[in-house]
């Protein structure tokens, strides 16, 4: 890996816009926002619906919770996921 690419990765520049790009490709995107209740993790589906998610240690898998409310949609900037 060259130094320029390494600098981009370490600075986070390599990941800017990645979630929007993946979403536009029809993929689910898992993100985090401190302002979201619980642990702050949520998933955005290709249909622009977003749900809280958490890891269930008993089931040993991620589970989907309730859909985000309007205030939470504003926090995550859902309008960017067109």
CB-based contacts of 18, cutoff 8 Å, min separation 6: none
CB 51 within 8 A of CB 67: yes
Task: Give the pTM.
Answer: 0.75
Q: What is the pLDDT along the chain (82 residues), one digit of tens a residue?
A: 578 877 777 777 767 777 788 878 899 998 889 999 888 999 999 999 999 999 999 999 999 999 999 999 999 888 777 6
As a whole number of angstroms, the distance between CA 49 and CA 29 comes to 11
The per-residue pLDDT for 54 is 93
Radius of gyration of the chain (CA): 15
pLDDT of residue 14: 67
């Amino acid at each position: 890996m060259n130094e320029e690419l390494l600098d981009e990765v370490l600075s986070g520049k390599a990941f800017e816009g990645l979630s929007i790009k993946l979403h536009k490709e029809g993929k689910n995107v898992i993100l985090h926002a401190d302002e979201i209740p619980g642990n702050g993790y949520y998933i955005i589906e290709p249909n622009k619906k977003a749900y809280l998610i958490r890891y269930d240690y008993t089931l040993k898998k991620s589970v989907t919770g309730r859909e985000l409310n309007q205030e939470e949609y504003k926090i995550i900037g859902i309008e960017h996921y067109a």
